[in-house]
Amino acid sequence: MSTQMGGLGPWRAMGTGDIDRVHGISEAVHPTLPENRAVFADRQALYPAGAFVLERDGTVAGYCIGHPWLEAEPLPLDARIERLPVRPDTFYLHDLALLPGARGLGAAGIIVPHIIRHARETGLASVSLIAVADSAPFWRRFGFRDTQASEGKLAGYGADARFLTLRFDPEAQGRH
């Protein structure tokens, strides 16, 4: 059963029972970027406030997962983390993936602003991500810009991978 979260429509909090489906969606959407099921379980357990699934026609058709992190340290592909940093400065958007039948319906236009708002409200300075498979133009529409990543940090994500960041205006903090 879908439980709608205020203003998030078909998106709901990801539960531990969703991990297998989320892993399957990851394999279907990113077949050349394999990640272990444990990566998704890890992220959901460490920061449930950043883990969501999209329900469509009674089944999970997408997910969005992220957590507070350090902007200068984007995570390598398939990396588990033991704990969140004590002083994070960014919301690291690990992945947003939608099955083909769930694309073009406005779901990303609901969850991405929610993630940005959440990052601002928790006092983080930015949202950052690694854009793959020519998705950088999609993210740029939300205001994300190319950022230099440390040497080797994008290895494994593919030749077209880009490290993108949406930094918040410090003057605007607290006004939203």
Give 119 or 172, the one with higher predicted confidence.
119
Residue 146, Cα to own-chain centre: how many angstroms? 17
The domain ranges of the chain are 11-172
Check residue 174 and give left, alpha or beta (phi > 0: left; psi -120 to 50: alpha): left
As a whole number of angstroms, the distance between CA 158 and CA 171 comes to 36
For residue 176, the model assigns a pLDDT of: 35
List, in sequence order, the alpha helices (H) in the chain.
Answer: 19-29, 37-46, 108-121, 136-140
pLDDT tens digits for range 117-159: 999 999 999 999 999 988 999 999 999 999 987 767 888 898 8
| CATH of the domain spanning 11-172, picked from 1.10.390.10, 3.40.630.30, 3.40.50.12280, 3.30.499.10 | 3.40.630.30
For residue 60, which of 80, 76, 44, 75 has the smallest C-alpha distance?
44
For the chain, the average pLDDT equals 90
Q: What is the pLDDT of residues 74-96, one digit of tens each?
A: 999 999 998 999 999 999 999 99
